[in-house]
Amino acid sequence: ENGEMSWVFDDCGILSDDEITELNDELATIYDTYGYDAVLWISQDVGEDEDYRQYAAEFMQANEIGYGDTHEGMCIFHQPGVRNITI
């Protein structure tokens, strides 16, 4: 059981409370069904030169999301300003 884990990180504040609740429920179902951490992270632009996958991996490690020493899991990373979504 994942307890009170939040699976949605909306640094931009673009989601409503209802949307966050619905997305948390969907992502918690992935965890409960497969034992696999899957999070949605919405953040500002990280810059053109930044490796988005590395940026998302560092976010997961810093927040202790995922399993094992390498924090394996799925991070859906969205940057609204640049229309970029990285999984």
- State the pTM of this model: 0.78
- Report pLDDT digits (tens) over 23-75: 999 999 998 998 889 999 998 867 667 788 888 888 888 888 888 777 788 88
Q: Describe the strand order of the beta sheet including 74-79 as a list of residue ranges.
A: 8-10, 38-42, 74-79, 84-86
Please report, for the chain, the start and end positions of each structural domain, with discontinuous segments joined by +.
8-86
Greater model confidence, 83 or 65: 65
Residue 1 has what pLDDT? 43
Collapsed DSSP state (helix, strand, coil) of residue 8: strand
CA triple 83-59-48, angle to 5 deg = 40
- 21: Cβ contacts below 8 Å, ≥ 6 apart: none
Per-residue tokens: 65? 């999301």
